């Protein structure tokens, strides 16, 4: 589990790159590179307030060990308000 101050979703990853998706730590945040199709699915999930999972790693590797989960939660935290 990685905590981050911000998340950047980049929808410019080419299918020919050989990756399902790529994630990397950038300063104190997380950058997730996904395909255009995955970006459209993510946008739809955000509109509908549904959880979304992004599997990261090489396309030819059958064992995916890294995921980026976008999850909606019930509690409204008061942290960092104002």
Cβ neighbours for 46, distance < 8 A, ≥ 6 positions apart: 52, 70
Tell me the domain boundaries of the chain.
Answer: 6-70
Compute the distance between CA of residue 57 and CA of residue 63 in angstroms, rounded to an integer. Answer: 9
Q: Superfamily for 6-70?
A: Domain of unknown function (DUF3480), N-terminal subdomain (3.30.1360.220)
**What are the pLDDT digits (tens) for 32-72?**
999 999 999 999 999 999 999 999 988 887 777 789 999 99
Report in angstroms the alpha-carbon separations of 34 from 38, 56, 69: 6, 9, 13
Q: Considering the entire predicted model, what is its pTM?
A: 0.79
**What are the pLDDT digits (tens) for 19-43?**
999 999 988 899 999 999 999 999 9
Residues in the chain: 82
């Amino acid at each position: 589990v990685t905590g981050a101050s911000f998340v950047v979703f980049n929808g410019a990853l080419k299918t020919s790159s050989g990756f399902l998706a790529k994630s990397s730590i950038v300063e104190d945040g997380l950058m997730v590179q996904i395909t255009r199709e995955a970006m459209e699915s993510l946008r739809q999930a955000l509109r509908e307030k549904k959880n979304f999972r992004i599997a990261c790693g090489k396309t030819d590797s059958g064992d995916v060990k890294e995921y980026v989960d976008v999850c909606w939660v019930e509690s409204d935290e008061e942290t960092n308000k104002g």
